Structure 1
């Protein structure tokens, strides 16, 4: 298959004019006016992005990772591909070891037997090793101290499907979990009351990631820089940002993207099962959630994840004034690098997996390619230029 007559973001994330040819699941050739006798798709007026990568998503379309079933993740995959996402990490919540194991088992099944739609990369384990004081929408009664033995049982029980595990570094036993778990997957600071010094200590132990920066953690104050200040001060730590305009003010997003730079910012949805559904009652981690005007909250008003998706967040960030090049990196190669998958996905380069999200120049979805096959196609709509 050849995708022809489009602009694309090359491996350096510069916009060029080129065709892309696939061979099976891989990118075979990239170049201007590629010859070929096989199937071709005319994408005049479009821009080809690497496939969008969401490494923090609990649910959507009425399904949730914590349902612990293959069907739930299949429904998520089918919905996400229609939003331009080609790969994702189903994300767990705080719960019992049995609940987490069931969710991880479903993730493993979908890795081994890929469903239709977006592909499953592995799991993001958010909880239960979090701080009660910053639990957010996590179940307080199921929180517990970091436990490497439990983590290892879960990790091996799902055949190594865990790509990322969250921990509050101020908790007892956190050092043991961080230093040892970091040999198996990425470790992230999350839902934490740690001060600046404790966060920096956690980074020395092996934390290289921050889950939904600013949310459910100590913020940035000029005398108490907190976790946020520690992340900004640590060039080897990447950070997730929820870019729905609710979790973070546009001015905060502009500041964060500027300070993190092109290689450390990561766009995530952190969406829950109500994403893609109308307002009403929903559920997250065994707790009732109320959805009104697209905002998901617990009964006490706590924000309970989001109802957004990466494509809508990209459009938000363009409107907020973030450079498009950094936006695209933050939704593709940066999340892939965060979980050690950037050698296979996340950029358009010969030999990499043929995952593409094709937009018209108004940033509306046109085509999605997953593992070299068209997974979703939308009718073209009007466009405006994104520049050469």
Structure 2
């Protein structure tokens, strides 16, 4: 396939006039292809005139949508999440757990393994596999374990009774039961055993500081041990103060640390999001949605981690007024960052594509328009920034 006439987001984070080429599921080198007497790509041409051509978005922190949640632990929930995300231009995700019981987490791990193996007749896997071959799904990168190794003091909408001390054995059981599909594990560094946990697992999965009441020094110690990631910066942690900079200050000081940022216009004041790009290099900022099961549905009351959440517009609140999660998909978060917060489109695209892919070590196949990577890309109207088309593995999904 040849995509022509658009402004393509290149590996220097600029928009340039050029054609791109795909062959089956992957991008290929167009210059080499057109020199061949018989082109190595198929002969389909996509007219991208009037559009930006950007990589498919990568959301490493997403809980649910359309009434389903990853913690439902079913193939159907996984399917619904992957189909919805692809329809929004998010072509790769890390479905994210909450702090729920061990039994529920292991059920999620089992469902994940079954998704990749297509081998559980009890859950009508034959029919699921058939639908999977026909439906338009985003890539499932791996699981993001947001719980249960968090601080009770900063639990947010997580369930207090299911919070556990860091447990390497249970983490390894999750890794095994999921078929080695754990991409990221969250932890509060101040909890007993956390530093040993980080030391043990940092070389195997991305370890993220999250839902924590730790101070700057504790956060820095965790980062030195390999926890070079922070979950939804500013939320569920101590504030950034001039004498007590906390996790935010530590993240700014650690040049290897990647930080998640929810730019739905609800979780932070616009000024905070703008100034984050002054405090932390844009190459270390990862846009996420943190979206819950109410995403894509009308206002009303929904469940998240065992708690009732009331949704009105972009706001999802617990009964005490605490922000529970997001009901905005990553594409809309990216556009909010540009149109309402004032960050350049080039920066926003970088933070929603290659940065998240790098943060979970998936950038060898995802996150940029590069020969050899999956042919995941979007066509975006240059004037309105409206999503016009999305391609995943070279196939048009919307």
Give your verdict on TM over 0.5: yes
Residue 282 (str. 1) matches residue 282 (str. 2): no
| Alpha-carbon distance between aligned partners in 2 of 1:109 and 1:258, rounded to the nearest angstrom | 43
Residue 210 (str. 1) matches residue 225 (str. 2): no
Residue number among 81, 106, 109 corresponding to 2:111 in the alignment: 106
More displaced, 216-225 or 37-46? 37-46
Quote the offset at 1:31 in angstroms. Answer: 5.7
What does residue 91 of structure 2 align with?
Answer: 86
| Alpha-carbon distance between aligned partners in 1 of 2:362 and 2:289, rounded to the nearest angstrom | 19
| Alpha-carbon distance between aligned partners in 2 of 1:239 and 1:111, rounded to the nearest angstrom | 29
Quote the offset at 1:271 in angstroms. Answer: 0.3
Residue 19 (str. 1) matches residue 19 (str. 2): yes
> How many residue pairs end up in the alignment?
376
Is 2:113–2:177's contact at 8 Å kept on the other side of the alignment? Answer: no
More displaced, 113-122 or 93-102? 113-122
Q: Could you report, residue by residue, the CA deviation over 1:96-155 in whole angstroms, capped at 9, with x for unpaired residues?
A: 111111112223333455843212111100010000000001001110100001101111
Alignment of 1:316-335 (within 5 A): 316-319=336-339, 320-335=341-356
What does residue 143 of structure 1 align with?
Answer: 163
Is 1:65–1:92's contact at 8 Å kept on the other side of the alignment? Answer: yes
Give the secondary-structure state (helix, strand or coil) at the position aligned to 1:223.
coil
Q: Could you report, residue by residue, the CA deviation over 1:144-169 in whole angstroms, capped at 9, with x for unpaired residues?
A: 10000110111111111110000000
| Alpha-carbon distance between aligned partners in 1 of 2:289 and 2:213, rounded to the nearest angstrom | 23
Residue number among 245, 249, 271 corresponding to 1:251 in the alignment: 271
Q: Could you report, residue by residue, the CA deviation over 1:348-367 in whole angstroms, capped at 9, with x for unpaired residues?
A: 11111111122111211111
Residue 366 (str. 1) matches residue 383 (str. 2): no
RMSD: 1.6
Alignment of 1:250-269 (within 5 A): 250-269=270-289
| Alpha-carbon distance between aligned partners in 2 of 1:260 and 1:225, rounded to the nearest angstrom | 14
Quote the offset at 1:258 in angstroms. Answer: 2.2
Residue 347 (str. 1) matches residue 377 (str. 2): no
Quote the offset at 1:32 in angstroms. Answer: 12
What does residue 248 of structure 2 align with?
Answer: 228
Give the secondary-structure state (helix, strand or coil) at the position aligned to 2:110.
helix
Is 1:281–1:291's contact at 8 Å kept on the other side of the alignment? Answer: yes
| Alpha-carbon distance between aligned partners in 2 of 1:159 and 1:184, rounded to the nearest angstrom | 14
| Alpha-carbon distance between aligned partners in 1 of 2:55 and 2:180, rounded to the nearest angstrom | 26
| Alpha-carbon distance between aligned partners in 2 of 1:139 and 1:218, rounded to the nearest angstrom | 20
Q: Could you report, residue by residue, the CA deviation over 1:297-327 in whole angstroms, capped at 9, with x for unpaired residues?
A: 1112111110011111111111211122211
Q: Could you report, residue by residue, the CA deviation over 1:243-300 in whole angstroms, capped at 9, with x for unpaired residues?
A: 0111011100001122221210000000000011101110111211111223111112
More helix by share: 2
What does residue 43 of structure 1 align with?
Answer: 48
* Structure 1 unaligned regions, length at least 5: 377-388
* Structure 2 unaligned regions, length at least 5: 119-128
Give the secondary-structure state (helix, strand or coil) at the position aligned to 1:91.
strand
Is 2:266–2:314's contact at 8 Å kept on the other side of the alignment? Answer: no
What does residue 220 of structure 2 align with?
Answer: 200
Is 1:68–1:102's contact at 8 Å kept on the other side of the alignment? Answer: yes
Is 2:287–2:351's contact at 8 Å kept on the other side of the alignment? Answer: yes
| Alpha-carbon distance between aligned partners in 1 of 2:266 and 2:31, rounded to the nearest angstrom | 41
Quote the offset at 1:332 in angstroms. Answer: 0.3
Change (3 A) 1:280 1:329: same
More displaced, 216-225 or 26-35? 26-35
What does residue 381 of structure 1 align with?
Answer: none
| Alpha-carbon distance between aligned partners in 2 of 1:157 and 1:103, rounded to the nearest angstrom | 9
| Alpha-carbon distance between aligned partners in 2 of 1:301 and 1:207, rounded to the nearest angstrom | 31
Give the secondary-structure state (helix, strand or coil) at the position aligned to 1:202.
helix
| Alpha-carbon distance between aligned partners in 2 of 1:257 and 1:200, rounded to the nearest angstrom | 20
TM-score where L is the length of structure 1: 0.94
Give the secondary-structure state (helix, strand or coil) at the position aligned to 2:97.
coil
TM-score where L is the length of structure 2: 0.91
